[in-house]
A and B are shown apart, each in its own frame.
Chain A
Amino acid sequence: MYEGVVQDLIDELGRLPGVGPKSAQRIAFHLLQADAIDVKRLVEVLTEVKAKVRFCETCGNVAESEQCRICADPRRDGTAICVVEEPKDVVAIERTREFRGRYHVLGGAISPIDGVGPDDLRIKELMTRLASAEVTEVIIATDPNLEGEATASYLARFLRPMGLRVTRLASGLPVGGDLEYADEVTLGRAFEGRRLLDV
């Protein structure tokens, strides 16, 4: 334990995701030794991000105004919505440049043991969006783990009767890996998601 404010800093840092007590201590002492100017810049960015950035009223992505950059862009295809768990998933899919539609960020996945149910996610907002918009296809891109899979089944149950084309991002073999190292669950999913070869 350290004196007063130093310990307060360690405690605050330790509350960040992925930061354990040891890392918190290391970061705290790094900050103590850093130039005042660098620390000031960090403080300013933190303050600015909290003041400026909020969540898009339409899709739940991070935004600097009422709507995020993607929702506000008229060139994006309004007929397809890609459903993801977190804003960082939007970034990951955007990097592929494969998708030109819009997104919907749920804010997590259904996890009964953590007390997270459908009502805790932005599912109602998705339904409202689908009822009013020109959407014809919903691509479910939740994480390829059990919670993501279960969230996808839950969504599919409501979306299918709405006459929409509902697809799930294929989860399969990692590119660059050897087939023999793939586990049976991944390999099984890859079989289900197989596609025709273009001739």
Chain B
Amino acid sequence: MPLYRDEGIVLRTQKLGEADRIVTLLTRGLGKVRVVGKGVRRTKSRFGARLEPAMMVDVQCYEGRNLDTVTQAESLASWGDVLARDYTTYTAAAAMLETADRLTEEREPNLQQYLLLQGALRSMAEGLHDPGLVLDAYLLRALAIAGWAPSFHDCARCGAEGPHRAFNLAAGGTVCPVCRPVGSAAPAPETLSLLAALLAGDWVVADASQGRHRREGSTLASAFLQWHLEKGVRSLRLVDRRDPDAQPRLDSRVTWAPAPLSVVKTVEEAHAAAQAQA
């Protein structure tokens, strides 16, 4: 198949030559692909702005010998543009994109990781929750999809019913007094409940959590991820964890301007809409 079409999210871009970029996409159907966007760095490029990180696009590519080339790109959601307007959401989104890049393989379909990333970016762009919480929920669930689901209630070793106080990264989460390895941590019970809520997608519990538990939870979620990935996720170091107790979002110092979001469409819907128009 010399020509293919899929829906995807831009994970990262790298400069290539004078005006091109290599664009890494996580697609719905094909998994991760690396494609060349020709001339996208020129200000007159037809689709340069659509092939920026955290943008969701409907792309058509021509299969090449080494790298494929983008021939068409239509925007499905321009989350990147919204997220970059606020430093906190920008850094949190960058950490999600880098994690998605690390947890997926080229040309190996991974619909679950795709849908998770899509939901997390949308949620962050809509600004309904603390961006730090959205990031941590994403990290925990991405790990779970990768087969490394942490435990925050029962014993990660023997399965003994919790709650347990001791927590051990290497063991996989909370551990009972019998299994507990030497040097295990003892985070606040509220932190463990928060992490469990984030993993389960219980936003009522998560939104009601306190700043210090969010901070402790972030540290544990990041540590979990770094434990499972050989090389650290660079973006995590730069995530701007603003004081979670402060009123988020509508702080006038922050340049947050909630722009209208493009409606998210699937390729099929976009296609049908285009046909209806024609």
Residues of A within 8 A of B (CB): 17-18, 20, 110-115, 117, 144-147, 149-150, 152-154, 156-157, 160-161, 174, 176-177, 181, 183-186, 188-189
A157, B255: Cβ atoms closer than 8 Å: yes
- Which residues of chain A have C-beta atoms less than 8 A from B259's C-beta? 188
Does any Cβ of A come within 8 Å of B223's Cβ? no
Is the Cβ of B84 less than 8 Å from the Cβ of A149?
A: yes
Asked if B94 and A113 sit within 8 Å, CB to CB, the answer is yes
Residue B207 is within 8 A (CB to CB) of chain A in the complex: no
Whole-angstrom distance between the alpha carbons of A108 and B92 in the complex?
Answer: 20
**Interface pair B81/A177, CB less than 8 Å apart:** no
Q: How large is the interface on B (under 10, 10 to 19, 20 to 34, 35 or more residues)?
A: 35 or more
B97 and A157 form a contact (CB under 8 A): no
Contact (Cβ within 8 A) A113 B75: no
A157 & B254 in contact (Cβ 8 Å cutoff): yes
Closest to B20 in A: A18
B218: interface (CB < 8 Å): no
Give Cα distance in the complex from A84 to B47, angstroms. Answer: 24
Q: Is B157 among interface residues, defined by CB-CB distance under 8 A?
A: no
Question: Which one of B49-57, B123-131, B136-144, B186-194 is at the interface?
Answer: B49-57
Instruction: Check if A150 sits within 8 Å of B12, measured CB to CB.
Output: no
Asked whether, in the complex, the Cβ of A184 is within 8 Å of the Cβ of B84, the reply is no
A185–B81 CB distance below 8 A = yes
A183 cross-chain contacts in B, Cβ below 8 A? 46-50, 75
Report B-chain residues with C-beta under 8 Å of the C-beta of A184.
Answer: 49, 75, 78, 262
Contacting pair B52 A146 (CB below 8 A): yes
A178 smallest CB distance to B (angstroms): 11
Measured CA separation A27–B46 after assembly (Å)? 32
How close is B81's CB to chain A, nearest CB, in angstroms?
Answer: 5
Does B43 contact A174, Cβ atoms closer than 8 Å?
yes
Question: Are the C-beta atoms of B253 and A146 separated by less than 8 Å?
Answer: no
B262 near A154: Cβ-Cβ < 8 Å: no
CB pairs A–B below 8 angstroms (8 shown): A113-B94, A145-B49, A145-B52, A146-B84, A152-B255, A153-B87, A183-B47, A185-B50
Residue of A150, A154, A157 with highest tally of chain B CB at under 10 A: A150
Q: Which residue among A153, A156, A181, A189 has the maximum number of chain B CB atoms within 10 Å of its CB?
A: A153
Minimum CB–CB distance from B123 to chain A (whole Å) comes to 19
**Shortest CB distance A92–B (Å):** 11
A20 touches B49 (CB 8 A): no
Q: How far is the CA of A147 from the CA of B84 in the complex (A)?
A: 7
In the complex, the answer to whether A150 meets B17 with C-beta atoms within 8 Å is: no
What is the distance, in angstroms, from A193's C-beta to the closest C-beta of chain B?
12
Tell me how far the C-beta of B192 lies from the nearest C-beta in chain A, rounded to whole angstroms. Answer: 28
From A110, A153, A181, contact of B86 by CB (8 A): A153
A31 to B17, CA, bound (A): 21
B78 contacts which chain A residues (CB < 8 A)? 184-185, 188
Q: CB distance A114 to B234 under 8 Å?
A: yes
Contact (Cβ within 8 A) B84 A117: no
| Nearest chain B CB to A162 CB, angstrom units | 11
CB neighbours of A160 from chain B (8 A): 253
Q: Which residues of A contact B17 (CB under 8 A)?
A: 18, 20
The residues of A that contact B54 with a CB separation of less than 8 Å are: 146
Q: A185's closest neighbor in chain B, by CB?
A: B49
Q: Give Cα A114 to B50, complex, Å.
A: 21
- Contact of B115 with A by CB under 8 A: no
* Complex CA distance for A176 and B43, rounded to whole angstroms: 12
**Is the Cβ of B91 less than 8 Å from the Cβ of A18?**
no
Give the shortest distance, in Å, between A110 (CB) and chain B (any CB).
8
Query: Which 10 A-B residue pairs are closest in the complex by CB-CB distance?
Result: A112-B235, A112-B94, A185-B49, A150-B90, A149-B84, A112-B238, A150-B84, A154-B87, A117-B238, A146-B84
